[in-house]
Structure 1
Amino acid sequence: MLSKIPANPPPRLVLKFFKMFSHYDDIQRARHLFDKIHEPDLRSWTILISAHTKHGFPEEALNIYNTLRARNVKLDTYVLLPVAKACAASADLIKAREVHDDAIRFGFSSDTLLGNALVDMYAKCKYVDGAKRAFDDVKVKDVVTWTSMASCYANCGLARQCFGVIRNMGLNGVRPNSVTVSSILPACTELKDLNLGREIHGFVVRNAIGENVFVSSALVNMYASCLSVRQAEFVFVNMFRRDSVSWNVLLTAYFSNKEYEKGLGLFHQMRSEGVKLNQASWNAVVGGCVQNGLNEQALDKLRQMQDSRFRPNQITITCVLPACTNLESLKGGKEIHGYICRHWYFKDLTTSTALVSMYAKCGDLDLSRRVFDMMTRKDTVAWNTIIIANSMHGNGNEAVLLFHNMLGSGIKPNSVTFTGVLSGCSHSRLVHEGLQIFNSMNREHSIDPDADHYSCMVDVLSRAGRLEEAYEFIQRMPIEPSAGAWGSLLGACRVYKNVKLGRISANRLFEIEPDNPGNYVLLSNILGTAKLWDEASKTRKLMRDRGIPKTPGCSWVHVRNKIYTFVVGDKSNKQSEEIYNFLEDVGKKMKLAGYIPNVDFVLQDVDPKEKHEILCNHSEKLAVAFGLLNLNGESSIRVFKNLRICGDCHTAIKFMAKIVGVHIIVRDSLRFHHFRDGILPGHQRRPFQFQKLQELLL
């Protein structure tokens, strides 16, 4: 067909073919036709630019406009309109300013139609000053002009200014329409201003614009964001027509307000009634499940999503990775990592950062660091994540080094950064470094320390055994000491057997958080270690009288995709006999290697033999033994505990790791503990691909 076109076709013929080719979305053929014209007129250029803008090629439209500008021809509003729309679609602020300058230079900036497009262009570029300038230049402002300016403020997070425009709009006699309402309702959502939202809802009802699906969806979203889910339901139920957006808005509202049963019910209704699900629908239910602690259901919904031929995107991945973290499922996290690599999602900063966090919290710091090092771009959140990862693994020196690398790369730290690095200093007893970093907060980075930072510094001093300094630091604090500060001191008093400061810390904690059982248990332990049995008994009695239950300690380990849980003295496991035999056998080797059971951690007034038996029955030892007996060719095991690891268990597991030659990782309520120092002198490491681990102990 193109072969029949003459070498220099007339504009009428060009227009006819442009329309036809644009209709079939064949932009390349349209461009080929345009290139046949020796001297295209302005109308032909306008049609070509419009076609590219309309069919989703704004960058190419702007390139064509640059070619036109280079010819120094006089432009008109018809060519500037599609160019402004192209700038809006690409959010290209530099080009947007050029187009605005051209409109002023050729005298069209006061034109209402073009002025509206310029305001909208700047709104999409999130540049308020430019939008205000274009808005002020328009002589005759219609409803579109006012709506575009209000929408610009709303998009830029300036909700108050948005409603200022709406008030001036009314004072100028211009009546808002459905587009105006749907544009400004997100500002109510941001302000969480329910009364203002109700006023707008009243306007919608009085002016009979509730049938507009965009208005109704925005109302549902506004009520849901203002925690008025019943009103959101009412609007949704009475909608004349519902699109996928309105369904998704209510779905998200249920999950955000902890009504996950209704959320799951609504999602089931959407599927059964044939509502057209989209990516946002699946992301809402996957993210909602994670948000409400339904981690296994989140992974199940992810599988259903893929079975329904929907490909998870970056948002899906970022939503579901915390489910792997919460389930401590390193295997599931690795599978998602593989998916990220196959689909090139690792270039997305949020996705990569979530992956760094997942590996760290599942106990694999090496993989966490490897992902971080592969990131081509790192923001403050990414640096915070890897710093906190090293801190939670007791790698304080590396956390401090990363902090200085962050500063050297030009990334500005925030409050979270300092909490992370100071926590690392405390776990590694880096007192000098901790004090330097703490003192630099306000002096060098203009960040005022908050309660968390002060608590971290108390922890830094306390863990290093400088209890009197820690107590003095608390007394000098310019803010009221938090439970975290006193708790850090109390925990250190347990380690360093300081009864005096232990009593002071515990009594303050009994006032601040009287229902926390850990404080009573810690004080009782301090008193028991000091053989002050009567006083320890009174503390336990006080706890019982106040009706505060002691949190039972338990440990768990993942073996072949299944979780096995243990409590103290547990004999419910099928391999219990093997577990206790193993602990007895390895205990003999440990004693030969220099291990001495620390009976101070048995806080019962019983004879020494019973104390040794009680130590052997601790839940973390049982979980470690079970994990070692079921290695299945792996070189490491990961054990998790809900409370702090027992001091004797910490020493014992260190000896186990040395003798067996296996990397043992234990995560307690505070951090990860790594035991992988190799073998003890005089012990030869042997391979662990065998049927029974006890062979190592022969």
Structure 2
Amino acid sequence: MIFPITNGRVENQHVNFSGHDSFPRVFLSLTVVNGDLPMVSKVPTNLPPHMNVKFIKKYLGLGDLARARQLFDSILKPDVLSWTALISAYTRMGQCEEAIKLYTEIRDSRKVIPDKFVILAAAKTCANSGDLIKAKQIHGDAVMHGYGSDLILGNALIDMYGKCKYLSGAERVFDELCTKDVISWTSFCSCYVACGLPEKALSVFREMGSSKIMPNAMTLSTVIPACSSLKSLNWGREIHGFVIKNGMEDNKFVNCALVDMYANCASIKNAEVLFHNMPNLDTVSWNVIISAYFSNGEFCKALSKFRLMRSQGVLLNATSWNTVIAGCIDSGKPDAALDLFGEMQQLGSEPNQITLTSVLTACAHSENLRQGKEIHVYFVRRCIFEDLVSSTALVLMYAKCGGLEASHRIFSMMSEKDTVAWNTIIIANSMHGRGEEALSLFRKMIDSGAKPNSVTFTGVLSGCSHSQMVDEGITVFDSMSKNYEVEPDSEHYSCIVDVLGRAGCLAEAYKFIQKMPVEPSASAWGALLGACRIYKNVDLARIAANHLFEIEPNNPGNYVLFFNILVTARLWSEASEIRKLMRDRGVRKVPGCSWVEVNNRFYTFVVGDKDNDQIVEIYEFLDDIRRKMKLAGYFPVTEFVLQDLDGEEKEVSLCNHSEKLAVAFGILNLKGQSSIRVFKNLRICGDCHDTIKYISKTVGVKIIMRDSLRFHHFADGLCSCKDFW
């Protein structure tokens, strides 16, 4: 059949198939432009099925899913091949929901009996989507239509159940296969790895060897991660030996899995040797060794390797950037992560949602609200609203940067909320001292059907402790195992000690510790010691401190807190003994510092700081505040000065505290803002707390301050903590 062509274009040519005996008497109106496939303008109703499939496949081959679907929808009775082609295409293009809809349509309409290839296409779709309900239906269809023991379909069903993390389904399919090949065994091993059962994966691998099925490279790259999870260096070495013996040492996937295995087994030297001996180092190989350094605490080596990777011109992909950014965060270097993100943008690399979520986590750790807001704007510009992980990261970022109201707004807009999302908003309210709201959110979480876990209860109980909600806290604690099958751990018991201690029930808190079915942790004794500071109970403080000195002999916070209690009680001799004990053990007090963001830049202050350009104005402001406070009847709480000085020297010493300096600097540089945010690495002292309350009243500014324990929201002379922290 010849089309007349002019300048490479054939337009509006009506193709008459009636002269050919093999075609029915139909007319298909086609438009062919520059060699493109035709755009259907007049749809045939009785074209032979093989022609339908041919045109659909041609369109799909060009990636034109829309035209393929248009042709498919025009067919009155599409055959099974057409259904298969379209379902497979939707799956390949990541449109699993549409693929499942098509399969459901063919299944429910009963117009066409699904063959094994349709079921195979649907199984691959469910593997990609993780839809367990549909997966079970597809398995049922396979059995019903007589394909239950088909090897190719059975392998796909095992893979499908593995990716849906449904072990019993995979086991049933595997057991019903009359014949098993290397793909069957590999998929079965992968299923156990995906379901977090590495021991079973290795057991299946051993059984595979007994069945005389030779593992291939895919099998090995699947089972080696099981050795990583178990940190089983012996098993890993055995498999490495098998790799060398069978000539698979050039396979990059196997090598990368081995590098990761050695790193997870704390054998970084072996990982390095393997990496340097790999024949063809590509991006994946570099990513794995960089991740290996990070996982072994080798931050500098990881960063150096990343720089070397760039200098050698290795192509950086999204995984490369995600690996190094996440590694910096896990290493406690959020600022380095943010710097790398800046480099990534300068090089024109496009961040994906994993990158953005990691950067939001870095912003949360470094309290960088400005950059966190920029990422939020990026989400809005790109219309990324439905991603659960990213939205949860936004909730956490705003909460840790002092923006609790913004956290609530984002949380309320989330269409889907899982346990992690609920935990995040509950913990956010707890750290901001809103225990009632944390408890209310917990009840809403239960009503929504989300299942609480250990972290949920830690968040709720922490909120109860900060808000002195004793009865509510004990009720929640008692309900854990009874109503929700969550066994309390040492962290939950510590929370109850804190609940009782902050409410002044010190004797009850001590009795609770003595009756705990688990060994009291440092958190439990620390909670009791903190309560002793609030209520000035020296006797119980001695007991708690002695336990802490045994459990955490190098934690300076415990010594300083007990020292403060003794100084407040004017037990100078005993306080001196604590100082001597610190010196003898080589324990150094962590220097206090505070920081505040002004004009998109962070300014840090230490006690008695003189380095700031506005230091004269800062001290003048604080002297003025101190005079006004005295006139108003406030007097400095000099018990927080840790030296035996006279009264005036103590007052001067209090004015030097880093949090006061940071607040004063923030107030002096307000420029129309209604609030400032200040952060401190240690607990805020009582005199600073009173002073900042007074400043919030006289200046009329909201001051949000985060110390080592919680957030304080100062406004109109009051603090959200109600003077208990």
TM-score (structure 1 length as normaliser): 0.89
Which stretch shows the higher mean deviation, 436-445 or 625-634?
436-445
How far is the alpha carbon of 1:450 from its aligned partner?
Answer: 2.2
Partners of 1:412 and 1:525 lie apart in 2 by 42
| CA pair 483-174 structure 1, distance change in 2 beyond 3 A | closer
Superposed, which structure 2 residues align to 1:47-86 within 5 Å? 70=109, 76-77=115-116, 80-86=119-125
Question: Residue 267 of structure 1 corresponds to which residue in structure 2?
Answer: 306
CA displacement, residues 329-350 of structure 1 (integer Å, 9 cap, x when unaligned): 1111111111122223332222
Partners of 2:193 and 2:132 lie apart in 1 by 18
Partners of 2:570 and 2:623 lie apart in 1 by 29
Task: Verify the 8 A CA contact 1:595 1:652 in the aligned structure 2.
Answer: no
| CA pair 652-44 structure 1, distance change in 2 beyond 3 A | closer
Equivalent AA in structure 2 for residue 412 of structure 1: K
CA displacement, residues 295-351 of structure 1 (integer Å, 9 cap, x when unaligned): 223122212323333322221122111221222211111111111222233322221
What's the secondary structure of 2:165's corresponding residue?
Answer: coil
Superposed, which structure 2 residues align to 1:450-461 within 5 Å? 450-461=489-500
Task: Verify the 8 A CA contact 1:661 1:679 in the aligned structure 2.
Answer: no
Equivalent AA in structure 1 for residue 272 of structure 2: E
Task: Verify the 8 A CA contact 1:595 1:655 in the aligned structure 2.
Answer: no
Is 1:590 matched up with 2:601?
A: no
Question: Residue 562 of structure 1 corresponds to which residue in structure 2?
Answer: 601
CA displacement, residues 401-441 of structure 1 (integer Å, 9 cap, x when unaligned): 22233233333322222222222222222223223222333
Task: Verify the 8 A CA contact 2:695 2:717 in the aligned structure 1.
Answer: no
* Consecutive unaligned residues in structure 1, runs of 5 or more: 681-698
How far is the alpha carbon of 1:77 from its aligned partner?
Answer: 4.3
How far is the alpha carbon of 1:366 from its aligned partner?
Answer: 1.8
Partners of 1:134 and 1:445 lie apart in 2 by 33
Task: Verify the 8 A CA contact 1:529 1:603 in the aligned structure 2.
Answer: no
2:242 to 172, 179, 203: 203
How far is the alpha carbon of 1:43 from its aligned partner?
Answer: 5.5
Is 1:333 matched up with 2:372?
A: yes
Is 1:670 matched up with 2:709?
A: yes
How far is the alpha carbon of 1:291 from its aligned partner?
Answer: 1.8
Aligned residues: 680
Partners of 1:36 and 1:380 lie apart in 2 by 44
Equivalent AA in structure 2 for residue 109 of structure 1: G
Task: Verify the 8 A CA contact 2:704 2:712 in the aligned structure 1.
Answer: yes
Is 1:25 matched up with 2:25?
A: no
How far is the alpha carbon of 1:660 from its aligned partner?
Answer: 0.7
Is 1:550 matched up with 2:575?
A: no
Equivalent AA in structure 1 for residue 177 of structure 2: V
Superposed, which structure 2 residues align to 1:199-598 within 5 Å? 199-598=238-637
1:4 to 15, 37, 48: 15
Partners of 1:583 and 1:37 lie apart in 2 by 82
Partners of 2:327 and 2:264 lie apart in 1 by 15
Equivalent AA in structure 1 for residue 348 of structure 2: R
Task: Verify the 8 A CA contact 2:221 2:253 in the aligned structure 1.
Answer: yes
How far is the alpha carbon of 1:361 from its aligned partner?
Answer: 1.4
Partners of 1:524 and 1:58 lie apart in 2 by 63
Task: Verify the 8 A CA contact 1:394 1:671 in the aligned structure 2.
Answer: yes
Task: Verify the 8 A CA contact 1:194 1:226 in the aligned structure 2.
Answer: yes
Partners of 1:79 and 1:241 lie apart in 2 by 39
How far is the alpha carbon of 1:56 from its aligned partner?
Answer: 5.8
| CA pair 588-447 structure 1, distance change in 2 beyond 3 A | same
Task: Verify the 8 A CA contact 1:25 1:55 in the aligned structure 2.
Answer: no
Question: Residue 152 of structure 2 corresponds to which residue in structure 1?
Answer: 113
Question: Residue 190 of structure 1 corresponds to which residue in structure 2?
Answer: 229
Partners of 1:622 and 1:418 lie apart in 2 by 37
Partners of 1:463 and 1:44 lie apart in 2 by 69
Partners of 1:45 and 1:484 lie apart in 2 by 61
Task: Verify the 8 A CA contact 2:435 2:466 in the aligned structure 1.
Answer: yes
Partners of 1:125 and 1:328 lie apart in 2 by 37
| CA pair 217-464 structure 1, distance change in 2 beyond 3 A | same
Equivalent AA in structure 1 for residue 15 of structure 2: K
| CA pair 325-447 structure 1, distance change in 2 beyond 3 A | same
Task: Verify the 8 A CA contact 1:429 1:464 in the aligned structure 2.
Answer: yes
TM-score (structure 2 length as normaliser): 0.86
Amino-acid identity (%)? 60
The two structures, once aligned, show a CA RMSD in angstroms of: 3.0
What's the secondary structure of 2:594's corresponding residue?
Answer: strand
Is 1:137 matched up with 2:148?
A: no
Which stretch shows the higher mean deviation, 9-18 or 451-460?
9-18
Partners of 2:644 and 2:379 lie apart in 1 by 56
| CA pair 676-210 structure 1, distance change in 2 beyond 3 A | same
How far is the alpha carbon of 1:38 from its aligned partner?
Answer: 7.5
Which stretch shows the higher mean deviation, 110-119 or 289-298?
110-119
Partners of 2:247 and 2:440 lie apart in 1 by 63
Equivalent AA in structure 2 for residue 25 of structure 1: G
How far is the alpha carbon of 1:161 from its aligned partner?
Answer: 2.9
* Consecutive unaligned residues in structure 2, runs of 5 or more: 4-12, 18-25, 27-45, 720-725
How far is the alpha carbon of 1:249 from its aligned partner?
Answer: 1.8
